[in-house]
Amino acid sequence: MEDNRRKEGKELVSKSVKAGKRTYFFDMKETRYGEHYLVIAESKRHFDEEKGHFFYEKHKIFLHVQDLEKFSNCLEEMNAYAKANFSEEELHPFYPESDASDAVRNAEADDFDFFDK
């Protein structure tokens, strides 16, 4: 069986943003045909009461490089709206260190099971 990661493309650059129990991954990738796209993935930590262990819920969006400027402009507009209309506490919440374990804070994107097997 072919590794699903190969299907998603060659990773060119990767960045992550940690926010409480969520981590956002930004991965610029290239297809085998030389097309470029951005994958934005959200990973959120949950506890499974029945099984007694943590698991990660993941969501992804794929943006073709030609749409990045439109996406960025819209995101900037939403950010400006939020700054003008929401409280400082909502915009900059305090995330105590205990919110995430060292393993989660230091994890890389490949440590999570983003790919269906």
- pLDDT per residue over 4-43, tens digit each? 555 668 999 999 999 878 899 999 999 999 999 999 999 9
Query: Of 17-26, 43-52, 57-66, which has the strongest mean pLDDT?
Result: 57-66
Q: Distance between CA atoms of 65 and 71, rounded to whole angstroms?
A: 10
What are the structural domain ranges in the chain?
Answer: 4-67+96-111
**4-67+96-111, CATH topology level:** Nuclear Transport Factor 2; Chain: A, (3.10.450)
Concatenated DSSP letters of 26-77: EEEEE-TTS-EEEEEEEEEEEEETTTTEEEEEEEEEEEEGGGHHHHHHHHHH
| pLDDT, tens digit, 9 for 90 and up, residues 76-114 | 999 999 999 999 888 887 766 544 444 444 444 444 454
Q: What is the model's pLDDT at position 97?
A: 54
